[in-house]
Amino acid sequence: MAETSLTLLDRLQKDSDPASWQRLIDIYAPLIRFWLSRSPLQNADHDDLTQEVLKIVVQKLPEFQRRREGSFRAWLRVVTVNCLREFWRLSKHHPVATGDSDFLQKLQELEDPQSELAKVWNTEHDRHVVRRLLELIGPQFEPTSLQAFRKVVLEGQKPSQVASELGISVNAVFLAKSKILRQLRQEIDGLLS
């Protein structure tokens, strides 16, 4: 990925380069598929709806305007809900036996930004994006640096303990943490806020 001060969303809105679109898909397709898998639809429908959500994101992202913290996350949630609602509306003529009678109620709850389900979406979104970006940027760093970062930042271990365990200096642990956090923050910019 080219080094740039522009966020992923800014790059997609300005340049629409294939590498940036692929990055967005690599980050979000698994999350969208995961959320859709919670709906009472068949697996093939989950895959189709994932593609539909991504298609709308590609079409509408140039018009998207970040107005507040979490606005992209909220916008993506609404796009997903609307795709589910449209699918449900169109399939009413061919109902699927799901055994889940509160599907529409869950869609309404997910659409409400103050609902518990929307809060769960937000939390899961943020965790997924951080984990997925860490996977995507991981190859840029030495394995020992990644281990140090994970142990200190994600597992909460003390830097001195990690340094001893990995056979590196405490300073190397802090440097690894700093470098990876800097790259992660650059990648995350605009996706969580």
109 and 148 share one domain: no
- Cα separation, 184 vs 189, whole angstroms: 8
Choose from 73-82, 117-126, 139-148 the range with maximum mean pLDDT: 139-148
65 and 99 share one domain: yes
Q: In 10 A of CB 35, how many CB atoms? A: 24
136 and 173 share one domain: no
Confirm whether 1 is domain-assigned.
Answer: no
168 and 84 share one domain: no
- Cα separation, 115 vs 67, whole angstroms: 20
More confident residue, 65 or 130: 130
71 and 89 share one domain: yes
Confirm whether 3 is domain-assigned.
Answer: no
Q: Domain range spanning residue 188?
A: 142-193
Structure confidence at residue 161 (pLDDT): 97
182 and 129 share one domain: no
Tell me: the pLDDT tens digits for 137-157?
A: 999 999 999 999 999 998 999
Radius of gyration of the chain (CA): 20
Confirm whether 150 is domain-assigned.
Answer: yes
Is the confidence at residue 6, as pLDDT, over 80? no
Instruction: Spell 159-186 as b/e; 16+ CB within 10 A means b.
Output: beebbeebebeeebbeebbeebeebbeb
Please state the rounded mean pLDDT for residues 164-178.
Answer: 97
| Helices 43-60 + 18-36 axis angle, to 10 | 140
133 and 165 share one domain: no
Structure confidence at residue 92 (pLDDT): 60
Confirm whether 2 is domain-assigned.
Answer: no
Tell me: the pLDDT tens digits for 173-186?
A: 999 999 999 999 88
- Cα separation, 185 vs 143, whole angstroms: 19
The encoded tokens of residue 15 equal 């340049």
* DSSP conformation class of 48: H
Structure confidence at residue 93 (pLDDT): 44
- Cα separation, 144 vs 121, whole angstroms: 33
123 and 39 share one domain: yes
107 and 149 share one domain: no
Confirm whether 63 is domain-assigned.
Answer: yes
Domain count, the chain: 2
The encoded tokens of residue 105 equal 């109620």
Residue at a domain's end among 96, 120, 140: 140
Backbone angles phi, psi at 173, to 5 degrees: -65, -45
Choose from 36-40, 69-73, 155-159, 186-190 the range with maximum mean pLDDT: 155-159
The encoded tokens of residue 121 equal 């979406």
92 and 173 share one domain: no
90 and 118 share one domain: yes
113 and 154 share one domain: no
pTM: 0.72
